[in-house]
Amino acid sequence: MEPTSNLAADQVLVKQYLDAVEQSAPLDEHAEMEYRNKIKGLLRENNAVLVAHYYTDGVLQDLAEETGGFVGDSLEMARFGSACEADTLVVAGVRFMGETAKILCPEKTVLMPTLDATCSLDIACPIEEFSEFCDQHPDHTVVVYANTSAAVKARADWVVTSSIGLEVVEHLADQGKKILWAPDQHLGAYIQEKSGAQMLLWDAACIVHEEFRFRGLLDMRKLYPDAAILAHPESPAQVLELADFVGSTTQMIKAAQRLDNDLFIVATDKGIFHRMRQVAPEKSFIAAPTVGSGATCRSCAHCPWMAMNTLARLYETLANPTEEVQVDRQLGEQAMVPLQRMLDFASQAQLSVKGKA
């Protein structure tokens, strides 16, 4: 049976959210410095730490590191948030990351620069339709990607991130389990192909990764024959077939450091270049070609919701904490079960996860 998600309706919904995204004007050097200093002071005063995703602006990533916070992928952000002792976590990323932090640390205050920063995968997996889909397949183990609402996580048996999804599905397949996977169809198909698991896939996609194009990438590879192609598994299958390395954001960063190539074509959000240039300053990175530019390109390799995390908004949320993440306590407890399962699995599998990166 096909997933109950309606792709056309989802795309309309995603467009509505995208239309509401407000772009901020860039700051001059003086204003940026002022914000940075004020934010540092407020983080100290509130015993708060800044946790930023690799796709956010490099200024926020630097600030997180300078102030004792953390920069990472969503699994690492979740681990850091649950282990750190601060009273307040400020999550620079998208809403599901803030919700995950709140689920893992219900006693902490979790702030975000804006609660409006969402994700096309989250939007395209509403709990009512998803729950119906699960009910239709009671013999399947429900594995959901972290890019989902707290309610969808609460309905799942497992929550996974891209850095550990394959290992979890292989582990379940070894036990003879059939998998119901949601919401990213490309990551699901990639895991299905690699693991050989029996999987039913929801059909949502990330608006950033689904824009990478096979033909354009093929042309680019001809232009730069010595470059290595790094791709995130949320990209379409044809793009992944061309890649020299497929992995999560952290795994891609480590591959950029480890591989001998001087030039890399990168199929994921451009925000990752900041960290890649830090860990491999002698190497060059170019974005994989997307569907078009300007009017025909919805993301152009940069997530519009990640881009909503600005210094100004970060300052505002610390000075006047209106953007506080709330998760219903009971729902949070239910969602905690599959999340904790992932964290426990990740701890046990740490060596093999690291070995892949």
Binding site for ligand SF4 (CB under 6 A): 55, 94, 119-121, 147, 206-208, 269, 303, 305-306
Supply the DSSP symbol for 210.
G
Query: Which structure tokens are listed for 279?
Result: 């860990």
Q: Residue 306 CB, nearest distance to ligand SF4 (Å)? A: 6
Q: Residue 147 CB, nearest distance to ligand SF4 (Å)? A: 5
Is residue 106 within 8 Å of 87, Cβ to Cβ?
Answer: no
Instruction: End-to-end CA distance of the chain: give it in Å, rounded.
Output: 35
Q: How far is CA 326 from the centre of its chain?
A: 20
For residue 126, give the 3-state DSSP assignment: coil
Q: Residue 64 CB, nearest distance to ligand SF4 (Å)? A: 17
Q: Which residue number, 42 or 307, has a Cβ lying nearer to ligand SF4?
A: 307
Nearest to 16, CA basis, from 197, 155, 179, 207: 207
Q: Residue 184 CB, nearest distance to ligand SF4 (Å)? A: 7
> Cβ–Cβ contacts within 10 Å for residue 238, how many?
13
Q: Which residue number, 207 or 256, has a Cβ lying nearer to ligand SF4?
A: 207
Q: Which residue number, 206 or 287, has a Cβ lying nearer to ligand SF4?
A: 206
With 0-12 / 13-18 / 19 or more C-beta atoms within 10 angstroms meaning exposed / middle / buried, residue 235 is buried
> Cβ–Cβ contacts within 10 Å for residue 263, how many?
13
Q: Which residue number, 35 or 190, has a Cβ lying nearer to ligand SF4?
A: 190
Query: Which structure tokens are listed for 349?
Result: 């599998």
For residue 188, give the 3-state DSSP assignment: helix
Q: Residue 93 CB, nearest distance to ligand SF4 (Å)? A: 8
Q: Which residue number, 86 or 314, has a Cβ lying nearer to ligand SF4?
A: 314
Q: Which residue number, 59 or 97, has a Cβ lying nearer to ligand SF4?
A: 97
**CA 137/CA 159 separation, integer angstroms:** 18
Q: Residue 135 CB, nearest distance to ligand SF4 (Å)? A: 26
Is residue 103 within 8 Å of 336, Cβ to Cβ?
Answer: yes
Q: Which residue number, 173 or 243, has a Cβ lying nearer to ligand SF4?
A: 243
Q: Residue 323 CB, nearest distance to ligand SF4 (Å)? A: 17
Q: Which residue number, 88 or 299, has a Cβ lying nearer to ligand SF4?
A: 299
For residue 97, give the 3-state DSSP assignment: helix
Q: Which residue number, 120 or 141, has a Cβ lying nearer to ligand SF4?
A: 120
DSSP string, 251-319: HHHHHHHHS--SEEEEES-GGGHHHHHHH-TTSEEEEPP-S-SGGG-SSTTS-TTGGG--HHHHHHHHH
Supply the DSSP symbol for 182.
E
Angle at 250 between CA 260 and CA 156, to 5 degrees: 145
Q: Residue 55 CB, nearest distance to ligand SF4 (Å)? A: 6
**CA 25/CA 16 separation, integer angstroms:** 22
Q: Residue 238 CB, nearest distance to ligand SF4 (Å)? A: 18
